Amino acid sequence: MRRFFLLLAVLLAGLGPALAEGPTDKRLSEGQVLRGQFLQERHLQGFANPLRSEGRFVLAPGHGLIWQTEKPFAITTVITAAGLAQEVNGNQTLKLEASKLPFLNQLYDMLSGALTGDWAKLEAGFTVTRSGDDQHWQVALKPRKADDPGMPFQALDVTGSAFIDEILLTKPDGDFDKLAFHDQAISGQPLSEAEAAAFATTGP
């Protein structure tokens, strides 16, 4: 769970500077929506092949994130300030209200900082190393407390250009997740009805 939030934070944090430093001011703001495709590879030791999944995501400031896995089967994960909900083939399998995720608020603070390119909030918990130029940049995050049991990864490496292109998440036991993003676009179009409905599923 916590890993997921960190991933989300990094996803948004990566966007911040990229957007802010791009040719035009593409900083994601209220009312704008970032849509894109993802390819997730989960490398587990003892598995011949990585677990691959792919799908689409929708990131809307003020609303939250829709993570829609389409292959190998349909899993929709929605996260908002109200909580988290997961559906598999149209059946809800998980629902956690924000009240049961007490640190959601805290993470939202961190996210909003990240969205405006404020890395300071992430730097409280991680050493942040940046390299490259505006067109091809890398950010490496390492937890400051190496043995914190609440920190289920060893390193997080993000590479990007206009947007985040790839995230590599390494776990202590050698497993790692690779997330690649493509076909990303920002639009000022309002949320579709389906998207708005998805965000509503996390509510009470």
CB of 88 to other proteins, least distance (A): 4
Of the candidates 61, 111, 103, 59, which has an alpha carbon nearest to the alpha carbon of residue 83?
103
**Binding letters toward other proteins, positions 14-43, x by CB under 8 A:** --------------------------x-x-
201 is an interface residue for other proteins by CB under 8 A: no
Which part of the chain contacts other proteins (CB under 8 A), choosing from 12-20, 22-30, 64-72, 180-188?
Answer: 64-72
84 is an interface residue for other proteins by CB under 8 A: yes
175 is an interface residue for other proteins by CB under 8 A: yes
Beta strands in the chain (DSSP E): 33-43, 51-60, 64-71, 75-80, 83-88, 91-97, 126-132, 137-143, 155-160, 164-170, 176-187
Residue 49 vs 187, nearer CB to other proteins:
49
- In this chain, which of 23, 24, 25, 73 binds other proteins, going by CB under 8 A? 73
Of the candidates 113, 141, 103, which has an alpha carbon nearest to the alpha carbon of residue 13?
113
Of the candidates 35, 18, 65, 79, which has an alpha carbon nearest to the alpha carbon of residue 188?
35
144 is an interface residue for other proteins by CB under 8 A: no
Q: How many residues bind other proteins (CB under 8 A)?
A: 39
Instruction: Render the burial of 50-67: b for 16+ CB within 10 Å, e for the rest.
Output: eeebbbebbbbbebbbbb
Total count of residues recorded for the chain: 204
Are the CB atoms for 93 and 101 separated by under 8 Å? no
> In whole angstroms, what is the distance from residue 194 CA to residue 92 CA?
16
162 is an interface residue for other proteins by CB under 8 A: no
Residue 85 vs 139, nearer CB to other proteins:
85
- In this chain, which of 20, 88, 128, 180 binds other proteins, going by CB under 8 A? 88
Site residues (CB under 8 A) for other proteins? 1, 3-4, 7, 40, 42, 44-49, 51, 53, 67, 69, 72-73, 75, 77, 84, 86, 88-89, 93-94, 99-103, 105-106, 148-150, 173, 175, 177
